[in-house]
Amino acid sequence: MYSPQSLHRWGITHSESIERLAYSQAIRDPMAMERTNLLNMAKLSIKGLIESALSFGRTLDSDYPPLQQFFVVMEHCLKHGLRVKKSFLGFNKSLWGPLELVEKLCPEAVEISASVRDLPGLKTPLGRARAWLRLALMQKRLADYLRLLITRKDLLSDFYENSALMLEEEGAVIVGLLVGLNVIDANLCVKGEDLDSQVGVIDFSMYLKNEIDDYRGEERNSQITSILDQKNYVEELNRQLNSTMHGLQGRVDSLEKSNSKLIEELAIAKNNIIKLQEENQQLRSENSLILLKVQQHLEVTKGDMSVERDTYKQSRQGLDEMYNEARRQLKEECQLRQDVENELVVQVSMKQEMELAMKLLEKDIHEKQDTLIGLRQQLDEVKAINVEMYQKMQSSDEEMKKKNDMINLLEEKTNQITATMKQLEQRLQEAERHRILAEEGTRCFKLDFANKADKKPLKTDYIWEWRQTLQNDLDRERVTVGQLSTEALQINGLKKEFHLLQGEKIQLKTICEDQEQALEELGSKLSESKLKIEDIKEANKALQGGQVWLKDKEASHCKLCEKEFSISRRKHHCRNCGEIFCNSCSDNELPLPASPKPVRVCDTCHALLLQRCSSNPT
């Protein structure tokens, strides 16, 4: 949006300088003369439209003459210097091409372009361009859309010539004048108008006025400019306030989030401070108890010393020796007190280290418990798979037994069938041999009968009976041959079934072997998982209860070399097993899971830990 000062300077001084420059160039350039004429007509039409709209006092419609003349002038301005494009129907100048670029430059113009394309009565690009101008004016964004268009001269050069109005400064002046039309409210019905066939002719009679009208127009123009300046200034302030409001809202949200996070962190820190204060209080109470014990012991020793001193004063014997002994005991007690204080400091540091170690041990225990749960789940799954495989194996073994029984039965049947086939073949051969013999007998009989018939006639009844017996024998032989052929077909079918059963037996054997291999693999995996679980259980036991911190009072000898402790041979704890050793038996240092830094360990734990590290490099 323009500020009031820039709008005033743009509308008056800049336009006058452009007019003078254009007038000086118009003598030499006819395109410049056309641009100046169109600029003047645009000024007159915009000025007349604003004045008449303000005096009219209501919403403008499509039949309002100054509004119609304004659209005609804008059409001539947009057509100036438009390139001619070739098509199948001839040469054509289209305003719709450059106006379509606006929806690419401004996403808000997509709605106007889509509604223009959806209008059913528009058939030509000129009609679409006229409808687009009317919709942009109703939206009060005509100046903004044309300003975006004239700023992209690289895109407009494809549609306009170099000296066109939209590519020169006159186009920018007209766009600046169009800002004043935002005060006008227009309600235009685009569907009912015949925008394709309208003739755009400028009516100059509307702009021929007398001096009084000019004077009134100047006053109205000054009023309009002041109103527009105030309106644009208020809109600019409103936009700036909206942007600042959104920025402040975002900052408030971020500060609320950070405040909630800081409150949570503060609560956690307070809890930690309370815990540390309680621990400090416990340590102070323990320290006070130890100091009280030491003071009581010193008081007892002092009382003993005073009693002994009185007795020695009374007896007056061995005073020097007792005095030296008491002094020596006092030094020892002081040394013991110093040792107790040092031991107290060591115990406090050891307690802190133990707390850290316990926290790390708890973390390790939780991790090991999670791994144990996962391994147990895997073990349960493997057991379920093993049970399923075992059941499948049992079912497959039962099926194999059944199939083996069937195969044995079928083998027995095949043996019986082969034996019967051999017997039937023998019977068939015998029947064939009998048939051949019968045929030979019949042939011989026929020959004898023919010879005898020639010699003398025989009895017909005897001949008929003999022929009937031969026919019956032949029928019996045919029946036996048919039975044998059916049995042979059954035997062939049984052979095929036998071969199929043999193939199934081979497949079942292969499946059984695969299942046995799978069971062996599962067994190996189960053994590995059991070993891992046992290792984790041992490590967990070692972490939870394996380390027993032995007290100083309970040990008087070194556990490894069994030498007695004294002032020169001090006591030292192993940080791995918790036992007490001398310095020579616990002068090794290794990092443990509870403490990443190297700590004191005994010789046995040192060797054991080194062996574990060598066996488990991970």
All structural domains of the chain with their residue ranges? 4-204, 357-546, 547-618
Strands 85-87 and 90-92: antiparallel
- Whole-number Å distance between alpha carbons of 272 and 558: 40
Determine contact, residues 42/177, Cβ cutoff 8 Å: yes
Domain 4-204 architecture: Up-down Bundle (1.20)
Determine contact, residues 49/41, Cβ cutoff 8 Å: no
**CA dihedral sign of residues 43, 49, 51, 54:** negative
Residue 135 corresponds to which tokens in the numbers above?
Answer: 């919709």
Structure-token match 């599962």, residue found: 522
Instruction: Kindly report the backbone phi and psi dihedral angles of residue 186, in degrees, each rounded to the nearest multiple of 5, phi listed first.
Output: -125, 140
Determine contact, residues 135/50, Cβ cutoff 8 Å: no
pLDDT category of residue 362 using cuts at 50, 70 and 90 = confident
The per-residue pLDDT for range 99-121, each reduced to its tens digit, is 888 888 888 888 888 888 888 87
Q: Average of pLDDT values for 238-251?
A: 80
Spell out the alpha helix ranges (H) of 456-569.
460-541
Q: Average of pLDDT values for 139-150?
A: 87
pLDDT category of residue 181 using cuts at 50, 70 and 90 = confident
Cα-based distances in Å from 112 to 76, 108, 442 = 21, 8, 116
**CA dihedral sign of residues 454, 455, 457, 463:** negative
- Indicate the CATH number for domain 357-546: 1.10.287
Nearest to 163 by CA among 11, 38, 329: 38
Structure-token match 């499946």, residue found: 511
Q: Three-state DSSP class for 186?
A: strand
- Whole-number Å distance between alpha carbons of 435 and 439: 6
Angle at the Cα of 49 from the Cα atoms of 47 and 55, rounded to 5 degrees: 105
**CA dihedral sign of residues 570, 575, 578, 581:** negative
- Whole-number Å distance between alpha carbons of 297 and 509: 88
Instruction: Report the Cα 91 to chain-centroid distance in Å.
Output: 57
Produce one character per residue of 460-470: b if its CB has 16 or more CB atoms within 10 Å, e if not: eeeeeeeeeee
Q: Average of pLDDT values for 248-261?
A: 86
Question: What percentage of the chain reaches a pLDDT higher than 90?
Answer: 1
Determine contact, residues 547/576, Cβ cutoff 8 Å: yes
Confidence at residue 133, expressed as pLDDT on a 0 to 100 scale: 86
Cα-based distances in Å from 276 to 219, 290, 538 = 84, 21, 33
Determine contact, residues 522/390, Cβ cutoff 8 Å: no
Q: What is the dihedral of CA 135, 136, 140, 141, to 10 degrees?
A: 160
Mean per-residue pLDDT over the chain, rounded: 77
Q: Say yes or no to pLDDT of 279 above 50.
A: yes
Fold match between domain 4-204 and domain 357-546: no
The per-residue pLDDT for range 427-466, each reduced to its tens digit, is 778 878 877 887 787 788 778 777 766 554 445 666 677 7
Confidence at residue 558, expressed as pLDDT on a 0 to 100 scale: 92
Q: Say yes or no to pLDDT of 530 above 70.
A: no
Cα-based distances in Å from 375 to 379, 389, 518, 521 = 6, 20, 20, 17
pLDDT category of residue 210 using cuts at 50, 70 and 90 = very low
pTM of whole model > 0.85? no
Determine contact, residues 40/175, Cβ cutoff 8 Å: no
- Whole-number Å distance between alpha carbons of 253 and 245: 12
Q: Three-state DSSP class for 454?
A: helix
Determine contact, residues 518/389, Cβ cutoff 8 Å: yes
The per-residue pLDDT for range 572-600, each reduced to its tens digit, is 889 888 889 999 999 888 888 777 788 89
Confidence at residue 211, expressed as pLDDT on a 0 to 100 scale: 42
Domain 547-618 architecture: 2-Layer Sandwich (3.30)
The per-residue pLDDT for range 36-87, each reduced to its tens digit, is 888 888 888 888 888 887 877 667 777 788 888 888 888 888 888 888 765 5
Q: Average of pLDDT values for 322-343?
A: 83
